[in-house]
């Protein structure tokens, strides 16, 4: 360990909203930051939240490299993101936030664990994040499968793809046009 104060499995930390989190895996630190970012957005009056992260390799295993995983607590917002993506050639595939997978994040020493194990990894990661988005329409895009290409593919050149930038811009344009 780098020092006695380094984070280690079994530690319990508190999120911005006061929830206690058992650190089950120190390599899942991004979701801790994302949880606080969502809490911060809610505290500052966000009426919709869309988060984007290369959160899990499990999304790539589940879906391959042709589409990104999408999760959320608001079917209307999920549909709007999927539709905006279709217009831009970016595909988002909805995965379930089912109760069976949710229990994998249960902790005996905190409100929640930061990981739920290997099974349904992208789903349990989204379940973790969803606990911090309660009360606001929320969508999570796991772009681990689509953020990079290893060779030229369509209009993408080898390297970063920019997914979901086109989708989010199109979504904002659509939302502004509907006002």
Residue spans of the chain under pLDDT 70: 1
Whether the Cβ atoms of residue 36 and residue 44 lie closer than 8 Å to each other: no
Distance CA 32, CA 129 (A): 8
Whether the Cβ atoms of residue 64 and residue 125 lie closer than 8 Å to each other: no
The domains located in the chain, with CATH, are 12-177 (3.40.630.10)
- Give tens-digit pLDDT for 23-55: 999 999 999 999 999 999 999 999 999 999 999
At 20 the pLDDT is: 99
At 158 the pLDDT is: 87
Q: For residue 48, give both structure tokens.
A: 């919709």
At 1 the pLDDT is: 58
* Whole-prediction pTM: 0.92
Whether the Cβ atoms of residue 87 and residue 79 lie closer than 8 Å to each other: no
Whether the Cβ atoms of residue 155 and residue 168 lie closer than 8 Å to each other: no
């Amino acid at each position: 360990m780098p020092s006695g104060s380094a984070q280690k499995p079994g530690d319990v930390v508190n999120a911005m909203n006061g929830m206690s989190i058992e650190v089950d895996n120190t390599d899942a630190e991004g979701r801790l930051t994302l949880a606080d970012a969502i809490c911060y957005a809610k505290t500052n009056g966000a009426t919709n939240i869309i988060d984007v992260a290369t959160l899990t390799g499990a999304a790539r295993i589940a879906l391959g490299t042709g589409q990104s995983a999408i999760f959320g607590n608001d079917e209307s917002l999920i549909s709007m993101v999927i539709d905006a993506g279709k217009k831009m050639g970016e595909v988002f595939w909805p995965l379930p936030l089912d109760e069976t997978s949710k229990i994998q994040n249960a902790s005996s020493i905190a409100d929640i664990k930061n990981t739920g194990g290997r099974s349904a990894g992208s789903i349990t990661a989204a379940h973790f994040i969803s606990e911090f988005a309660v009360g606001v329409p929320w969508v999570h895009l796991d772009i681990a499968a689509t953020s990079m290409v290893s060779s030229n593919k369509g209009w993408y050149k080898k390297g970063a793809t920019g997914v979901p930038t086109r989708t989010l811009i199109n979504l904002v344009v659509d939302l502004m046009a509907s006002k």
